[in-house]
Structure 1
């Protein structure tokens, strides 16, 4: 498993004093209010201010005091260490831990690996790439077991639910 969890991407500057507009990559934007620091390209940066704006976050990071300096960060990702990440409820996983997992059914048939997690209104969908591509709904009737340590997800045989 990765040591860092990506929580957002810097998409633009905000104002003239070095604030950064961030697109959150988390399901709860309010988590940004709790952050004291983030990693940008592996370097720890202290957060000195946070505002929520619609579905975006405006961050003030120590040492970024001008629009010119802020522009250098555009497009970069914000990460937190795994130990400082939000604690998830049982049965919930970070996307970074799901992507790359092998998908097999309970009879041992290998379908491929998860290449992407798609969010829909009702549930997530796992995009599997192998010999063929397959979309699997991430629901308990289909996904029987998730083992991120083994990088393996066990599902019901496709013909039983498709």
Structure 2
């Protein structure tokens, strides 16, 4: 969806009164409390108004207005949820995972190592999944200050420090 970005995926229902469980694609789960609506994959530009939102066990439990029972909500399972970029809370200091995907990964000498394919967020710390330019193979870098030295969202470049064996 143009002008929108993916905030998560509806993975299950919660209870029988229309609540859904969203696997978030952001590390700031409280963002969902500030949204008035979400778009849902495959349902066009219809806004689904949010009645309530809360965090539970690293998931977002959310209820849409007018969806008061489990039978109405099951058609939304396994769909991604989107927010318009202009309506997302932004303090000007952070970035979203979607902003990072596709960034060039450069070493400290400015040499291109690869491109960021994904950010894995279900580990002790996030991991950058990088596809090497040289052979197309995948390698991972923990997202910690020791390895990730600079992120330039505007230039779509991330500078990293590698240790021996990291790209193997």
State the TM-score bracket (shorter-chain normalisation): 0.7 to 0.9
Q: How far, CA to CA, are the matches of 2:112 and 2:56 in structure 1?
A: 44
Shift in CA distance, 138/88, structure 1 to aligned 2, threshold 3 Å: farther
Whichever structure has more strand as a proportion of its residues is 1
In the alignment, does 2:101 pair up with 1:99? Answer: yes
Quote the offset at 1:101 in angstroms. 0.8
TM-score w.r.t. the length of structure 2 is: 0.75
Aligned to 2:143: 138
TM-score w.r.t. the length of structure 1 is: 0.77
Shift in CA distance, 26/142, structure 1 to aligned 2, threshold 3 Å: closer
Aligned to 1:35: 35
3-state DSSP of counterpart to 1:11: strand
CA contact (8 A) 1:142 1:161 kept: no
In the alignment, does 2:154 pair up with 1:152? Answer: no
**Cα deviations by residue, 1:69-105 (Å, 9 ceiling, x for unpaired):** 2110001122211122232563x42111111111122
In the alignment, does 2:22 pair up with 1:22? Answer: yes
Q: How far, CA to CA, are the matches of 1:56 and 1:140 in structure 2?
A: 26
Aligned to 1:115: 117
CA-based RMSD: 2.7
| Structure 2 gap segments, 5+ residues each | none
Shift in CA distance, 5/88, structure 1 to aligned 2, threshold 3 Å: farther
Q: Aligned pairs, how many?
A: 158
**Cα deviations by residue, 1:20-75 (Å, 9 ceiling, x for unpaired):** 22233332333323322111124321112334444333322123343222110001
